[in-house]
Structure 1
């Protein structure tokens, strides 16, 4: 164990050394991850390094694949490495093998060139790449257009993309999916992940070219060629005369800015909509809509939001609560547990007690003097989380013992909206609610597993030669719930599917179904 006081004294010197070598190290790093061809022996060492980390640290490595099967997959991978490969070429080989573990928190990350601010600005000036000029949606393994650059006139929203640069869309989709692990055998998570960031996934595996040929089926079922080049936005000179603001105008702006800042605890998503939101959908407050799109984001104050929301529900005498967990990829275990405590009216246990064989610090295996900056904090976190219990180490998450419901807890009817990106912490609360029949679930199967996941602390470790990153879960987190259907998520009581026409029209079929159901009771 490193003495913390001594460590703090040497930190400034470590940062000084870091700044002195940064220019050389960045240049070397960029060459390594872009141009360098790594010899087979180096890459095989990275394969062994990866598998050893997983065997030593991943508590659920063999939940969904046997040791013999996984041994064979890694051995087979090494046999295919017969010549030098770039980092990206190696990533394409290693990524699908790691995904075979079927842990949604564990994956390979492709590292890219580190760019200076000047280089980033220069790239932006070159224009928008073709693949970034469209918006995409995958439904039933078909790829559709949901938005497009205003200069594009040949297509409409909802048109299907048949192929990209002569590669069939189905081949692209299936090829990308093998690199995405869900918790077990679930498939909705893979589609949801691609729908959130199709362009990023595509450019990880295909070159981000300045010319792309899309084969598109239009509304008349005719196949058209949509040929796109990098689009440079025209420079529009702003001729607006900026007037000097009055004191009153400046004061008003500051007041608006302060008001917006006060709402930061609710967060904002990529569409500038609140991540946390409560709305009453009827004038008499009888129906409430509670959106929780994430359990983790900057400036979040879940304790405040939940307290305010459930006081409002109590005051409004709400009879029906719609809890929207769609697209909630998880986050804080405390936040999801606190929300659960507002939805029950008696003492509860939230998690099953789990344990691991040993304490594990993956960062001690990375090279470099600065690695101590990661080793020590991780070691401290580990010592706080894991408690020795006979021949095991008990994972010390709060919730394994009985807890009380919150004051102002809600006792009325609950509907929970779920989809393929309801994952991790949002799957934990869903499983616990499902187990006690507390809610009616509407939507699609969750991406997170009913029987839990491997997460807790999630380190990212650099491979020594290729510089790829391994992101891996370490500790089993199991809800106080169980299903015999192994390797699947929480299934909806009412399954709702959406067509591309629904997406283009902006329909919310899940919410619409719930509202119609509520009206039946009136």
Structure 2
């Protein structure tokens, strides 16, 4: 990789750090996370985690490059089981990586049997068969590659729908950062029962879909129509700033939707939440209020660590936040003093135009954070049927809220969420999982390539039957 270093001044991909430094960095990062992160041991006990950390540290027997260190610690952080907890490479490093021709020029789809197929070919020197099954890359079996990537991608609990969808959308980026950074790829592909090997050159990433192309932020985030006496509501995000920047107002829009449903006596409502990665909790809680005709619980409680509780109890923080309440060994967050954020653990009032018909929620592996909370609350209270894939966010809640970034040794940036949200749902259901659909709908390779919306079609068929 010396050529990459020459192409990107200021970033030396070959520079190594002593193994003692690597072990110290790892311990410091995990120590900071553990002290501030109230959900650090939500899915893996301290005893188990200590064993996992020690085992990982024992694998560090030599000096590592920046990228090697990242690949070593990324699965450890993913082990926390928190979508909102992360580590990022130094910004200059990420920029330099994007400028290299080290992205595999293929887009893929992982089906329900974990087979991997080619969906798009961006190779410039050879034609790769679309729909061909990818068997190996640079002599490593694809199932081994996928297993390594799944362990490195963070998700809430043990959820995998988000991880698989992330690979279906961004495989070249994950392969480059976690598996290897090379400019040549030898791929083995099975097509029409014939296995062939191809050598393809790496490319820069401009041809791949951006995050904005996957879930556009520059168009209407809220869309509603009544089709054949069926209400169809698309909510791309709950984020107040994104909705406002596109000239929409969530509270008014949603009120008009449910007023229309009542006036037109619509009996069935489809809410499409696919690719809704969350946003403003107040908007999600407000939407939930339209499905209840009496007071209801949204969150059960919010927890913080002892360290965060101590910081809030002194200094400037006292002006903005209430002092957390200690209950047994837990510190309960009591919210902000001047705003309504964090207040949704209190009983919630029903909205005026509450919907009494049948509701269907369309979900996939990118339903996260507040979107996942909303789905869990409606599902647990039997206010809706869930159609599609398991949601990415935890059924029992997530850890997010205030999420400061800390720059560590080597320029790595870690994100540590400070609030553990516990949803007001059955505490014994879907532990470590998202909301499991009432009607699971699998997407086939053909559906993915043709962009056929089999999930929405399934919901319409349910209603019409």
Matched with 2:325 is: 389
1:90 equivalent in alignment to 2:69: yes
Deviations along 1:44-78, one digit per CA (max 9) or x if unpaired, are 22112112112211112222212111112222333
Deviation of residue 221 (structure 1)? 2.1
Matched with 2:231 is: 288
Q: 1:69 aligns with which of 48, 65, 71?
A: 48
Matched with 1:316 is: 264
Distance 2:150 2:204 in 1: 32
1:196–1:412 Cα change, 3 Å: same
Matched with 1:250 is: none
Deviation of residue 190 (structure 1)? 1.8
Deviation of residue 113 (structure 1)? 2.4
Matched with 2:301 is: 353
Distance 1:268 1:42 in 2: 39
Distance 1:361 1:89 in 2: 36
Matched with 1:263 is: none
1:452 equivalent in alignment to 2:424: no
Distance 2:27 2:39 in 1: 19
Deviations along 1:197-222, one digit per CA (max 9) or x if unpaired, are 2222111024443332322222x122
State the TM-score, normalizing by the size of structure 2: 0.83
Deviations along 1:301-358, one digit per CA (max 9) or x if unpaired, are 3334323433443343322110112222222211211211223232222111233343
* Uncovered stretches (5+) of structure 1, i.e. residues with no partner: 1-28, 234-266, 365-375
Deviation of residue 386 (structure 1)? 4.8
Distance 1:232 1:333 in 2: 37
Matched with 1:333 is: 281
Matched with 1:154 is: 127
Deviations along 1:144-202, one digit per CA (max 9) or x if unpaired, are 22223496873444222222222222111111111123222222222122223222211
Structural RMSD (CA): 3.3
Q: Is the 8 A contact 1:183 1:487 kept in 2?
A: yes
Matched with 1:307 is: 255
1:513 equivalent in alignment to 2:458: yes
Q: How many residue pairs end up in the alignment?
A: 434
User: Which piece of structure 1 moves more, 168-177 or 184-193?
Assistant: 184-193
Deviation of residue 120 (structure 1)? 10
Distance 2:127 2:322 in 1: 59
Distance 2:147 2:428 in 1: 28
Q: 1:426 aligns with which of 346, 356, 371?
A: 371
Distance 1:299 1:215 in 2: 43
1:137–1:294 Cα change, 3 Å: farther
Deviations along 1:245-287, one digit per CA (max 9) or x if unpaired, are xxxxxxxxxxxxxxxxxxxxxx9934976443223322xxx11
Q: 1:225 aligns with which of 194, 197, 200?
A: 197
Matched with 2:415 is: 471
Matched with 2:3 is: none
Distance 1:431 1:102 in 2: 18
Distance 2:129 2:241 in 1: 36
Residue correspondence of structure 1 range 46-445 to structure 2 within 5 A: 46-113=25-92, 123=99, 131=104, 133-139=105-111, 140-149=113-122, 154-218=127-191, 220-230=192-202, 269-270=215-216, 274-282=220-228, 286-296=229-239, 299-301=242-244, 302-360=250-308, 384-389=320-325, 392-396=331-335, 397-445=342-390
Distance 1:168 1:340 in 2: 45
Deviation of residue 92 (structure 1)? 1.2
State the TM-score, normalizing by the size of structure 1: 0.75
Distance 2:379 2:427 in 1: 10
1:90–1:230 Cα change, 3 Å: closer
User: Which piece of structure 1 moves more, 187-196 or 271-280?
Assistant: 271-280
